[in-house]
């Protein structure tokens, strides 16, 4: 059976006593096993990182950027292989896997400009003969802990800025689909990155705890579910680390009465069901404003949902593939039952879906509920599957309150032709990323990604300038070059610019 090993110091290594199963979501069953590491494995990676990092930090930023350019070229050249590898473990369709990698590569493109964005500030003549300037320096050794749902994009969100700014970076990918991050680390070496600067350690809670407790790791970036994000944030910060920890989501799409409903239905189908709903920026809740809008929307949504094609991840015609594991399938189907029990009106039921020839695959048909209300657990919690819930609102204020009061605040969208309503909504909604007639408002790489409330712990977003800030410390220098004449200052009084 294929085995996925840690990637330490430029090569596969470190023996393991525990292994995790990598499932085949299209067909069911185990397709590979991954080594599950511990503190001893991490120690090897940290020692390699500590040995390699000072020279990498001293490498001038243009040379570091050239590694990013070459890495981008190599990932593009290997795109087909990477996408197939990603789909085979995750289950998303090939075109979507390419998008997963491409969105990560766009962060690498941003990092090709690292010499420019790392420039500090300078004030000439801040006092008599005094200049003040600042510089950004790497943290040293950083770590990333990533979820299963974007095994290309999210590792690249982190390793691009971490490495380009001069850190050594250790990634602990999801143990459900760890192959792509290992391949990316290999490509970094091929691109000219020194050994020890990008390493991969595999594992579960044991490895995560080892990372959070290791004194030489100065910064930890986490993306995953909210309870784990909160735990990682608390433990990392208690150990004196810089931590950013992105969590779960329940994104709402507000549909105003004047919206172009054909466009909305088209957008919703992709945003709610694409990648089987396993996206933190999926739109699993739609909020039509007014019953008339709700009825018109529902009439168009039902046939659109019934026309969706669920298939294996290599089916070029499929809109989406299986969910990641059998347990996840059972969990999503459990939520569908909960919503039924709570009084949601089940309009389209995706349970029991069987794909001919792939009966053991983890497929769930698209599911639609109407009359979901805010007191239902299935509304309050993230389902993370191909399930769309209609929550009706009587007016704009009621619609605005729904995502604003929800425990999660990752993304939200409003669909309208009314610029004033859209502007008002964007200004007032209590959510971190807003789409105006854009269903999945994932910011481009040179802006930054991050939610509010229980969707993110810590105060720095992913990628863009926020990413550069997270992976660097600011050092500020106040300099004076005396000309030899005594300045007569009193050294016992705090210097002021008065």
Binding site for ligand NAD (CB under 6 A): 145-150, 172, 174-175, 204-205, 208, 223-225, 228, 246-249, 280, 382, 384, 410, 451, 455
- The least distance separating ligand NAD from the CB of residue 415, rounded to whole angstroms, comes to 22
The whole-angstrom separation of Cα 183 and Cα 75 is 9
Query: Among 272, 263, 212, which residue's Cα sits nearest to residue 440?
Result: 272
Rank residues 96 and 175 by Cβ distance to ligand NAD and give the closer one.
175
Please, are residues 350 and 387 in contact by the beta-carbon 8 Å criterion? Answer: yes
The whole-angstrom separation of Cα 156 and Cα 273 is 24
Which uninterrupted H or E stretch holds 413?
A: strand 411-415
Please, are residues 200 and 187 in contact by the beta-carbon 8 Å criterion? Answer: no
Q: Rounded to the nearest 5°, which phi and psi values hold at 143?
A: -135, 150
- The least distance separating ligand NAD from the CB of residue 385, rounded to whole angstroms, comes to 11
- The least distance separating ligand NAD from the CB of residue 230, rounded to whole angstroms, comes to 10
Dihedral angle sign, alpha carbons of residues 355, 360, 361, 367: positive
Residues recorded for the chain: 498
Rank residues 362 and 396 by Cβ distance to ligand NAD and give the closer one.
362
Q: Which two tokens stand for residue 336?
A: 């569908």
Cα torsion 317, 151, 456, 439 to 10°: value is -20
Rank residues 284 and 361 by Cβ distance to ligand NAD and give the closer one.
284
Rank residues 261 and 387 by Cβ distance to ligand NAD and give the closer one.
387
Rank residues 149 and 165 by Cβ distance to ligand NAD and give the closer one.
149
Dihedral angle sign, alpha carbons of residues 202, 208, 214, 219: positive
Please, are residues 55 and 221 in contact by the beta-carbon 8 Å criterion? Answer: no
Rank residues 293 and 410 by Cβ distance to ligand NAD and give the closer one.
410
Using left for φ > 0, alpha for ψ between -120 and 50, and beta otherwise, residue 39 falls in alpha
For residue 449, the 8-state DSSP code is B
- The least distance separating ligand NAD from the CB of residue 222, rounded to whole angstroms, comes to 7
Sheet holding 130-138, edge to edge: 122-127, 130-138, 472-480
Cα torsion 11, 3, 100, 188 to 10°: value is 10
The whole-angstrom separation of Cα 451 and Cα 431 is 6
Query: Among 206, 201, 267, which residue's Cα sits nearest to residue 35?
Result: 201
Catalytic residue among 111, 112, 159, 280: 280
Rank residues 146 and 472 by Cβ distance to ligand NAD and give the closer one.
146
Q: Cβ-closest residue to ligand NAD?
A: 224
112 tagged catalytic: no
Q: Rounded to the nearest 5°, which phi and psi values hold at 321?
A: -110, -155
- The least distance separating ligand NAD from the CB of residue 280, rounded to whole angstroms, comes to 3
Rank residues 359 and 459 by Cβ distance to ligand NAD and give the closer one.
459
The whole-angstrom separation of Cα 477 and Cα 491 is 19
- The least distance separating ligand NAD from the CB of residue 304, rounded to whole angstroms, comes to 24
Give catalytic residues, as residue numbers.
Answer: 280
């Amino acid at each position: 059976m294929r085995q996925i090993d840690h990637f330490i110091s430029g090569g596969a290594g470190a023996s393991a006593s525990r292994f995790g199963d990598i499932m085949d979501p299209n067909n069911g069953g185990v397709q590979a096993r991954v080594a599950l590491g511990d503190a001893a494995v991490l120690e090897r990676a940290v020692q390699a990182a500590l040995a390699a990092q000072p020279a990498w930090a001293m490498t001038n930023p243009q040379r570091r950027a050239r590694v990013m350019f070459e890495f981008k070229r190599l990932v593009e050249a290997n795109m087909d292989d990477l996408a197939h590898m990603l789909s085979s473990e995750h289950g998303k369709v090939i075109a979507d896997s390419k998008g997963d990698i491409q969105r990560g590569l766009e962060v690498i493109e941003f990092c090709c400009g690292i010499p420019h964005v790392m420039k500090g500030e300078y004030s000439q003549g801040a006092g008599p003969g005094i200049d003040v300037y600042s510089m950004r320096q790497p943290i040293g050794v950083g770590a990333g802990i990533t979820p299963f749902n974007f095994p290309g994009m999210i590792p690249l969100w982190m390793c691009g800025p971490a490495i380009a700014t001069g850190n050594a970076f250790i990634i602990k990918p999801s143990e459900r689909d760890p192959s792509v991050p290992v391949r990316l680390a290999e490509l970094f070496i091929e691109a000219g990155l020194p050994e020890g600067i990008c390493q991969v350690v595999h594992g579960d809670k044991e490895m995560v705890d080892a990372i959070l407790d290791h004194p030489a790791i100065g910064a930890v970036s986490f993306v995953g579910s909210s309870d784990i994000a909160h735990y990682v944030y608390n433990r990392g910060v208690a150990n004196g680390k810089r931590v950013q920890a992105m969590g779960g989501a329940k994104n709402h799409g507000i549909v105003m009465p004047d919206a172009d409903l054909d466009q909305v239905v088209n957008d919703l189908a992709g945003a709610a069901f694409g990648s089987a709903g396993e996206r933190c920026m999926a739109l699993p809740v739609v909020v039509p404003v007014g019953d008339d809008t709700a009825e018109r929307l529902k009439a168009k949504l039902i046939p659109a949902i019934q026309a969706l094609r669920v298939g294996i991840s290599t089916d070029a015609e499929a809109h989406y593939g299986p969910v990641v594991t059998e347990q996840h399938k059972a969990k999503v189907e459990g939520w569908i039952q909960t919503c039924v029990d709570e009084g949601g009106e089940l309009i389209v039921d995706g349970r029991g879906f069987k794909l001919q020839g792939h009966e053991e695959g983890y497929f769930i048909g698209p599911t639609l509920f109407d009359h979901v209300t805010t007191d239902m657990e299935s509304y309050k919690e993230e389902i993370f599957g191909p399930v769309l819930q209609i929550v009706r609102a009587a007016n704009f204020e009621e619609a605005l309150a729904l995502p604003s009061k929800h425990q999660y605040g990752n993304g939200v969208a409003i669909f309208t032709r009314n610029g004033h309503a859209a502007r008002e909504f964007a200004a007032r909604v209590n959510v971190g990323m807003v789409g105006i007639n854009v269903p999945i408002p994932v910011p481009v790489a040179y802006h930054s990604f991050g939610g509010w409330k229980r969707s993110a712990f810590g105060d720095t977003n992913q990628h863009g300038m926020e990413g550069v800030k997270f992976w660097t410390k600011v050092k500020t220098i106040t300099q004076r070059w005396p000309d030899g004449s005594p300045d007569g200052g009193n050294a016992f009084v705090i210097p002021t610019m008065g």
